[in-house]
């Protein structure tokens, strides 16, 4: 089983819980997730399996899309619904226009306040290790990129939103900081990741039906093969001879119209992914236009 299975993570499960269960059900030893979801969050959790674990860094660093609800009226120490309320609790009727104005400030590159219960390391330890011991640290911030933030609906003291962001952004920090700007505090409830990189929620499958776990065949049938991953990277077809060179880690010279791409997917005669290669050099020649010769080096090899 070499590929990606996209799980619709249920609430109350950790990402590690899902990995461990799928590993047991499928019998595949190498299984990894591509970006942690908080236990109370649901939605897209892509799992790399077998040789696809070598591609994990591509998926971890990909953009994410979330839908969720901000509950205004009080902040919590975890910035989400599982935390202890901080300060006075109120139940404000939200002003949609005012809230939309505040959301406009959270576009592009911004600095977020990191949740005390996060994996960000301070002096070699994750922040949650200090928080669990009752140690208060100075508030830390992090620059993140928000691609878009849309207000979808307002009902009483709750605001539904959609967030598109680069990897590393915290939806719960967004709720916390926006609540502070609004003046009454806020925290995140009902978060759902609807897209992670190339994997939308439509490709996500459940791991359980009722109280029963799906069998191994369920995951096999929904496995996205290596050849169907990373479609945004240009592909090059390699011959049997080239394939033999790849097994020895040798560089190749290839003719391609995508001569300025930084890397390539190398596919064999059957269309299977055999390597990811980095472009080392382009040999420009007027005789070869619009294609050009490139020298490439196999960086990840699957054979």
188 forms bridges with which residues in the sheet? Answer: 70, 80
Round to whole Å and give the CA distance between 236 and 273: 10
Q: How far from 189 is each of 159, 174, 185, CA to CA, in Å?
A: 10, 12, 13
> Is 242 a residue of the active site?
no
- DSSP H stretches of helix in the chain: 15-26, 56-60, 96-103, 127-132, 171-182, 216-221, 240-247
Work out the end-to-end distance of the chain between its first and last CA atoms, rounded to an integer number of angstroms. 14
Round to whole Å and give the CA distance between 121 and 236: 41
Task: Give the gyration radius of the chain's Cα atoms.
Answer: 23
Round to whole Å and give the CA distance between 180 and 184: 6
Q: Which residues of 140-166 are buried (b: 16+ CB within 10 A; e: fewer)?
A: eeeebebeebebeebeebbbebebbbe
> Of the residues 2, 8, 17, 38, which is catalytic?
38
DSSP assignment of 136-176 equals PPPPPEEEEEEEEEEEEEEETTEEEEEEEE-TT--HHHHHH
Round to whole Å and give the CA distance between 44 and 8: 5
Active site amino acids:
38
């Amino acid at each position: 089983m070499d590929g990606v299975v996209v799980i619709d993570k249920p609430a109350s499960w950790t990402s590690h819980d899902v990995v461990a269960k799928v590993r047991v059900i499928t019998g595949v030893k190498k299984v990894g997730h591509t970006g942690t979801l908080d236990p109370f969050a649901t939605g897209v959790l892509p799992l790399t399996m077998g040789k696809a674990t070598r591609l994990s860094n591509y998926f971890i660093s990909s953009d994410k899309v979330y839908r969720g609800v901000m509950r205004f009226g009080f902040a919590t120490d975890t910035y989400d619904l599982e935390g202890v309320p901080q300060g006075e609790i109120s139940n404000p009727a939200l002003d949609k226009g005012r809230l939309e104005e505040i959301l406009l400030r959270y576009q592009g590159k911004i600095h977020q306040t990191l949740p005390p219960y996060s994996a960000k390391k301070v002096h070699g330890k994750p922040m949650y290790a200090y928080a669990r011991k009752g140690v208060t640290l100075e508030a830390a911030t992090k620059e993140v990129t928000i691609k878009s933030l849309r207000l979808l609906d307002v009902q009483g003291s709750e605001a539904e939103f959609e967030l598109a962001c680069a990897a590393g952004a915290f939806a719960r920090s967004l709720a916390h900081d926006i609540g502070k700007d609004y003046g009454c505090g806020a925290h995140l409830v009902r978060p759902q990741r609807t897209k992670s990189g190339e994997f939308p929620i439509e490709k996500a499958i459940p791991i359980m039906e009722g109280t029963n776990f799906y069998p191994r065949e369920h995951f096999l049938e929904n496995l996205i093969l290596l050849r169907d991953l990373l479609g945004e990277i240009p592909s090059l077809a390699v011959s049997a001879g080239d394939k033999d060179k790849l097994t020895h880690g040798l560089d190749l010279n290839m003719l391609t119209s995508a001569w300025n791409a930084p890397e390539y997917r190398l596919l064999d005669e059957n269309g299977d992914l055999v390597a990811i290669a980095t472009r080392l050099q382009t040999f420009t020649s007027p005789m070869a236009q619009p294609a050009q010769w490139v020298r490439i080096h196999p960086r990840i090899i699957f054979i």
